[in-house]
A and B are shown apart, each in its own frame.
Chain A
Amino acid sequence: MLKITMVYEAQLREVAGQAEAVIDAEGVGSLLELLQHVAGQNEQLRPRLLAENGELLPSLLVFVNDQPVEHSAAAARSLADGDTVLLLPPISGG
């Protein structure tokens, strides 16, 4: 069993339509694959998570259990049952 809690903040919460979601990620091998899986289920989320080449969007901050994940490590970052993936989109002043 591989249940992952996704936490969406700011614009991502709007696009995802929810602040949190528990995902059955059985068979998903890495953090990058997880986000590709999520993007595949929501076309509006896709451009906010992934670049056109399928890699993580450079301006997206990603944390697993509140620890930052360098984008270049996302393909190798494995996940464990019960992990929480926090996604912070860029925001600004104004």
Chain B
Amino acid sequence: MTERRLSDAERARYEWQIWTPDVGEQGQQKLKQASVLVSRLGGVGGTVAYYLAAAGIGRLVLAHAGNVKPSDLNRQLLMTTDWLGKPRIESAERRLRELNPHVELVPVGENLSPDNAAELVGQVDIVVDAAPLYEERFAMNAACVQQQKPLVECAMYDLDAQLTTLIPGQTPCLACLYPQSPPNWKREFPVFGAVSGMIASMAVVEVIKLLTGIGEPLAGRMQWINLRTMAFRQLPIARREGCRVCG
């Protein structure tokens, strides 16, 4: 069990966010007590993990397989040039430890799958979905619905991005929105790091809100952002009757 009280070093580190009026030291303690799973540490998930660590989330479970490739480096801020060809999870762990040694890291050198989803989701309070493949996303969603854990869903393509917070029993689940995998799905697509980083930052704000109780989570609503035009649309989303996962 993590020590709930903040040390002097932690108090100093988080001082500026503790100043947030409805967070305070009590809110910071909630973050310290919390655990979050981030599935994939790419352009979205890596930035999510970085800001979660910066915010002082007590325990991060991080799942990502494979080795660092040159094409990762335009957006995957936890991956570094000197780590090319070596495991992504090691690069991510190193960068996060450099940033904040107070955070407990649980690195998992494999991607989330139907085989490990329940076990990984079972270790945390909240899950952030930053995975590119729908099979992974559906496995995460099913485990979250089964275990009644919030799932912060973030995605991007080109200069577009979307975000929603799925809360079992209250909001649609991912399978309500997408009852089947999209046909002919391609896991590689155009994106700038600034776009994935933007939606990742917003996802972390959702996690902070859920954990501290401040503000209003993006539940039952989807934020769609078109950065070409700077149009921010907030759209209602509804549960699907007879959903194969949450229905």
A residues at B contact (CB < 8 Å): 9-11, 13-14, 19, 47, 57-59, 61, 63, 66-68, 70, 86, 88-94
Assuming A59-B178, A61-B177, is B44 touching A93 (CB within 8 A)? yes
Q: Which secondary structure dominates where chain B touches chain A?
A: loop
Q: Is B66 an interface residue (CB 8 A)?
A: no
Could you tell me if B235 and A66 are in contact, using CB atoms closer than 8 angstroms?
Answer: yes
B residues at A contact (CB < 8 Å): 40, 42-45, 129-134, 137, 154-158, 160-162, 177-185, 187-189, 191, 196, 222, 224, 226, 228-229, 233, 235-238, 240-241
Q: How far is the CA of A11 from the CA of B34 in the complex (A)?
A: 37
Whole-angstrom distance from the CB of A21 to the nearest CB of chain B?
A: 15
B156 contact set on A, CB distance < 8 A = 91, 93-94
Assuming A68-B235, A93-B44, is B160 touching A9 (CB within 8 A)? yes
Could you tell me if A9 and B224 are in contact, using CB atoms closer than 8 angstroms?
Answer: yes
Could you tell me if B238 and A70 are in contact, using CB atoms closer than 8 angstroms?
Answer: yes
Could you tell me if B180 and A93 are in contact, using CB atoms closer than 8 angstroms?
Answer: no
Q: How far is the CA of A71 from the CA of B226 in the complex (A)?
A: 24
Q: How far is the CA of A14 from the CA of B157 in the complex (A)?
A: 11
Q: How far is the CA of A92 from the CA of B186 in the complex (A)?
A: 10
Could you tell me if B182 and A90 are in contact, using CB atoms closer than 8 angstroms?
Answer: yes
Q: How far is the CA of A89 from the CA of B240 in the complex (A)?
A: 17
Whole-angstrom distance from the CB of A59 to the nearest CB of chain B?
A: 4
Q: How far is the CA of A63 from the CA of B236 in the complex (A)?
A: 9
Could you tell me if B179 and A58 are in contact, using CB atoms closer than 8 angstroms?
Answer: yes
Assuming A92-B134, A94-B44, is B236 touching A58 (CB within 8 A)? no
Q: Which residue of B lies closest to A66 (CB)?
A: B235
Could you tell me if B132 and A92 are in contact, using CB atoms closer than 8 angstroms?
Answer: yes
A88 contact set on B, CB distance < 8 A = 162, 224
